[in-house]
Every structure is written in structure tokens, then in C-alpha cells.
């Protein structure tokens, strides 16, 4: 689902942009412009514009319902979707509190899911060496689909693109998908045996 940026998202955006350029006045103007850029993208296939290339990224460890919703949204707004999958080196730098499958296995499982959904031909899977990947340098990418948990990274990406003379990406944030206990579904909770991949409680 794509929604207008709420006050919390706008506040996060302001902080993220401050980290990048530190100019208060310019930050306020840029925040308002980018928030409007996101706010204009309303949900609804009837008037939804399709972008030639949309990007999204993640670790994609233990694929679950939250991953499927993120993928669904990306393919709704993009004709082609570039999917960044965290490399093993990048995963180690994240210091996750649990085991993470190898890049090869995560890429394979993601490719199989895309094939089952009939989307493999519209997807390009690339390794991510950091939080930004090709989004800060590739002028062909036009939009970015993120969860609200990682929306600050999206605003940093746009600030970095602006510094390189690239157009900002349209940002499509989606809400976190909740488990039965109304807490977010995550690979960490699944790995710990708290919930299954659909968000059903196990303990």
C-alpha cells in the first residue's frame, strides 16, 4: 500500500537529510518537496503510474508474508523491478542476532518465489554491498519501494542522488505487516520460533 507520508515519516525524513547535508533551510524545502513527491502516489491500480524500473532491497532471509507484500507493491508500480539482496559480507556487518542463510540460498529461494508468482521475467536480482546499492548511481531507476522501518534510508538515497545530479526517486512506503500478536512479522522472530512465516503465533 502506498500512502502519503505522515508526520512521523516527514520528521524522519528531515533528520535523515540533516545527516547528509546539514543545511537547515535547504533541508526543510527538500523535505517538503520529497514528501509531496511521495504523497502524490496514491494507492489504486486505476490511476497508478507504472515506472520502467523500480528498486527494492533487503536480506530476504526466511521469506515470509511481509516479503511477499513488499514484492507485490514493487511489481504493482514497476514494469521491471531491481531487487537488491544483501551479500554475505554486508550481512556480517549488520550483526544480526541469528543465523542468516547464504547469499546463494537466499537468491535461489527468492527466484523460486518470483517464478511461482509469475514475476521472474520482470525481476533482476543483484547483490547489495551496502544500504544503498545501485540506487544512488543508476539513473535508470525511477522509484523505490520500502517498508516504513527503512524509510530513512530512502530519504538518504534521494539526498545522495541529488548530490550526484540525479533526479530523486519516487518513494513508495508500505506499512509493516503484523503477526497475530500485532507485532511486525520478521525473519528474526521466525528464526527464534516465535511465529511462522505467515505471522501465526507458535509460543
**Domain of 154: which CATH number?**
3.40.50.620
> Is residue 19 assigned to a domain?
no
Report, in angstroms and rounded to the nearest whole number, the Rg of the chain calculated over CA atoms.
17
List the pLDDT tens digit at each of the 203 positions of the chain. Answer: 222 333 333 333 433 333 333 333 343 334 434 443 443 444 444 456 689 999 999 999 999 999 999 999 999 999 999 999 999 999 999 998 889 999 999 999 999 999 999 999 999 999 999 999 999 999 999 999 999 999 999 999 999 999 999 999 999 999 999 999 999 999 999 999 999 999 999 97
Length of the chain: 203
Retrieve residue 64's grid coordinates.
Answer: 515470509
In a domain, 162, yes or no: yes
**Domain assignment present for 71:** yes
Answer yes or no: is 17 within a domain: no
| Closest C-alpha to 163, from 35, 67, 30, 58 | 30
In a domain, 42, yes or no: no
**For residue 161, is it within any domain?**
yes
CB 157 within 8 A of CB 136: yes
Asked if residue 163 lies in contact with residue 83, where contact means CB atoms within 8 angstroms, the answer is: no
Backbone φ and ψ for 127, nearest 5 degrees, come out as -75, 140
Q: How far apart are CA 145 and CA 143, in angstroms?
A: 7
Is residue 36 one of the residues assigned to a domain? no
Q: What is the model's pTM?
A: 0.76
Alpha helices in 78-195 (DSSP H): 88-94, 103-116, 151-163, 187-191
Distance CA 193, CA 21 (A): 42
Q: Are 85 and 55 in contact (CB under 8 A)?
A: no
User: Which residues form the domain of 162?
Assistant: 50-191
* Domain total of the chain: 1
Q: Does residue 9 lie in a domain region?
A: no
Amino acid at each position: 500500500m502506498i500512502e502519503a507520508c505522515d508526520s512521523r515519516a516527514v520528521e524522519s525524513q528531515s533528520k535523515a537529510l540533516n545527516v547528509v547535508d546539514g543545511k537547515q533551510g535547504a533541508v526543510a524545502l527538500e523535505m517538503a518537496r520529497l514528501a509531496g513527491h511521495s504523497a502524490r502516489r496514491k494507492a489504486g491500480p486505476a490511476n497508478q503510474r507504472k515506472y520502467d524500473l523500480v528498486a527494492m532491497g533487503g536480506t530476504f532471509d526466511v521469506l515470509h508474508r511481509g516479503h511477499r507484500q513488499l514484492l507485490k507493491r514493487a511489481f504493482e508500480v514497476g514494469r521491471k523491478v531491481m531487487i537488491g539482496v544483501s551479500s554475505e559480507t554486508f550481512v556480517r556487518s549488520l550483526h544480526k542476532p541469528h543465523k542468516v542463510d547464504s547469499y546463494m540460498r537466499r537468491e535461489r529461494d527468492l527466484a523460486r518465489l518470483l517464478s511461482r508468482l509469475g514475476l521472474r521475467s520482470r525481476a533482476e536480482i543483484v547483490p547489495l554491498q551496502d544500504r544503498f546499492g545501485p540506487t544512488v548511481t543508476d539513473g535508470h531507476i525511477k522509484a523505490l519501494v520500502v517498508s516504513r522501518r527503512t524509510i530513512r534510508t530512502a530519504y538518504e538515497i534521494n539526498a545522495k542522488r541529488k548530490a550526484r545530479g540525479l533526479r530523486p526517486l519516487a518513494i513508495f512506503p508500505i506499512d509493516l505487516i503484523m503477526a497475530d500478536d500485532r507485532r511486525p512479522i520478521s525473519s528474526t522472530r521466525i528464526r527464534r520460533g516465535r511465529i511462522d512465516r505467515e505471522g501465526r503465533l507458535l509460543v
